[in-house]
Structure 1
Amino acid sequence: MKSIKAVTYPVHFQDKAYKELSNLITTNNYSTLFILVDENTMEHCYPKFIPNLETDKRIEVIEIESGEINKNLETCSGVWNAITELGGDRKSLVITLGGGVITDLGGFVASCFKRGIDFVNIPTTLLSMVDASVGGKTGVDLGVLKNQIGLFANPEMVIVDTDYLTTVTDREIKSGIAEILKYGITYDLKLFNEIKHNKDLDINSLIYRSIEIKNEVVLQDPKEQSLRKVLNFGHTLGHAIESFYLESEEKQNLTHGEAIAIGMVCECFMSAKLLGFPTEKVNEVKEVVLSIYNKTHLLKQDFSAIMELLKHDKKNINGQVNFVLLNDYQDYKLDCKVPEELIVESMEFYNL
């Protein structure tokens, strides 16, 4: 597959990517390579990656615990201390090998260490391939509030190797499908229809087109001043639901994609009420979502807690929650204000 040129860096695919990584390491004469993994990618992905790394530079592996619950400043502090104790300097390179938690946190760690050292993202889940590894966003959660601490910082390159997808569960694959559905509903309906009609998906083409779309948007609006906000469709309410399940001791955590899928159904419902998005398309989105994901029943007694988390969404301005809503497929409206009672009604609609 042809490489994609992002804002300041390339996205390389499959075998070519590792040759480009070796060239980068040689050209920049890095002092030490720090490879950031979690216990899962250490076991399943590191053995696939390391034979492709052609270098005589010193390699140090730093392992953190997996899961969104560990995407916080405490984990960052541990990584910064490890890099320091292992002799990291301004000519060190951080290579993130993992899903969205690893790429988000690793990019943030690299961007802050000694006021910024280079990093390379190697996403190993479908979600991180189509979303977290591209676009220059780095950061961590503050408690259960998603991505409250972070900054924009671009990697030196991104490596997308779909062989890593053999190491993840079916549930994680489905988590990534939610982001592709988002691109389809808001930007390129072919993606939505392909997922709707095909059980045997061409995952490589879906990944490539998703990265193309995100890159097209980010090139026009790197700092999310306008157009890039479209990438938040489903995420405003979805993040609040994800955070609620993350902090609950009684409930099983939702994956990012599972929560965003619920958010997309709810935000389609809001779109129908406020912008005239066709009811049959609301039902179509809900049908496709429920054909992929097990239904999560949102309890009425939990609505108030979800609404409270919604008020802390990082995209809010002056305390006002902003949604991306739809006039139609591929026809969206940014910065929509939604009455609280309609948000609640949308969750009740999802439950039906």
Structure 2
Amino acid sequence: MSKVYFEELSYIEELLASIEHSQLFVLADENSKEHCYPLLKNHLEHHQVIEIASGEKHKTLDSCNLIWNALTNATADRKALLVNLGGGVITDIGGFCAGTYKRGIRFINIPTTLLSQVDASVGAKTGIDYNEYKNHIGLFCEAEAVLVNPIFHKTLPKEQLVSGYAEMLKHGLIADEKHWQDCLENGSEKFSNELIQQSVKIKEDVVKSDPTEKGLRKILNFGHTIGHAIETHLLNTENELLHGEAIGLGMIAEAYISKSKGLLSEQEYKLIVEELWKIYKSPKIEKASYAEIKRLCKQDKKNQNGELNMSLLKNIGQAIYDIPVEEELIDQALNEIL
């Protein structure tokens, strides 16, 4: 599993010295290139920057072609090294392109958003969206290293921190009640290295026990079956949500399903939704869209043999996986959040 370093940005010099490479490339979008790259570039040897457009709607094969073409035109060989500098879209697509270019070159993740620091850049999942389906094409592909530093939070709007906060709260809900409480006490606007490290450790511990998501790792998807469907449904609309905003709503919906299936107590359900409603707001979605959201849920990677499966909560701090969920229950859950 990739080693995660909580160090100053200058530590990239030591990492680069430890990895034999022929050429160095940096992948960024227009935002991370403008705001984050200037903090890093003086610590890098000679390199080439590859820029793609920001946002989930650009996590596509078209962006992959741009990256692969840039590497090819630079005659990058199999010893080339790619540094992914950005949020979850950059680390997802950068890892995927590195893992497939010439059957695999090495890469380092330097996540610049809170969400990518605590979730997207850790755990070896890479990939892109395909047609309308989120993370539909991808690889399990380990980064050589992940370098995390909260200095990049200064470059972020508040909504990006709130988005990342959702994944931290999720880590507490599925595996560590104390972390849930610590996150609530901390709030959604400023995060210490210590709190980020707690969240990363929870994910690392789960991933180490099940690297390729055959079982326990599925609990990391709590809130994501419905959350991903809502995120995809609203993509490119005036009500478009950030990933964590959609996952916040997904957690409320899937906590409702957990309660309805007799897994989660009414008391803990109320505690969870009370806290999540303080942070995440319901978008404008008509009931006529429920069928589309359920159709998207049916493409979730946890499903098997035509059965819709979810990871649900038994209590705050414990999740279970592969729980069959009926479509009628999804309708009820959507009524709770939309």
Same fold (TM over 0.5): yes
Q: Distance in 2 between matches of 1:168 and 1:319?
A: 41
1:193 aligns with 2:195: no
SS at match of 1:275: coil
Matched, 1:12 2:1: no
1:1-352 equivalences in 2 (<5 Å)? 7=1, 9-15=2-8, 18-19=10-11, 21-53=12-44, 55=45, 58-199=46-187, 202-246=191-235, 249=237, 251-351=238-338
Which deviations, in whole Å up to 9, do the C-alpha atoms of 1:177-214 show, x marking residues without a partner?
A: 00011011111112221233444754322210011011
Which residue identity lines up with residue 158 of structure 1 in the other structure?
V
SS in 1 for 2:10: helix
Partner residue, 1:3: none
Partner of 1:281, secondary structure, is helix
- What secondary structure sits across from 2:134 in the alignment? strand
Other structure's SS at 2:85 match: strand
Q: Deviations over 1:246-295 (max 9, x none)?
A: 15x4x321110011111111111111111241112222211111211233
Give the conservation status (yes or no) of the 8 Å contact 2:149–2:193.
Answer: no
Deviations 1:54-99 (A, max 9, x none): x3xx300000000000001111011100111112111110000000
Aligned-residue sequence identity (percent) comes to 44
Please state whether the residue corresponding to 2:285 is helix, strand or coil.
coil
Q: Tell me the amino acid that sits aligned with residue 202 of structure 2.
A: I
Distance in 2 between residues matched to 1:181 and 1:298, nearest whole Å: 25
| Deviation digits for residues 18-77 of structure 1 (CA, Å, limit 9, x no counterpart) | 33x323433433111110000000100000111233x3xx30000000000000111101
Paired with 1:276 and 1:80, the residues of 2 have a C-alpha distance of 47
Which residue matches 1:4? none
Q: Which runs of 5+ in 2 are unaligned?
A: none
Residue type at the aligned position of 2:123 = G
Kindly report the root-mean-square deviation, in angstroms, between the aligned alpha carbons of the 2 structures: 1.5
In 2: Cα distance, 1:289 partner to 1:298 partner: 19
Q: TM-score, normalised by structure 1?
A: 0.92
Matched-pair contact (CA < 8 Å) for 2:173–2:319: no
2:127 and 2:138 in contact (8 A); partners too: yes
Give the total of aligned pairs: 337
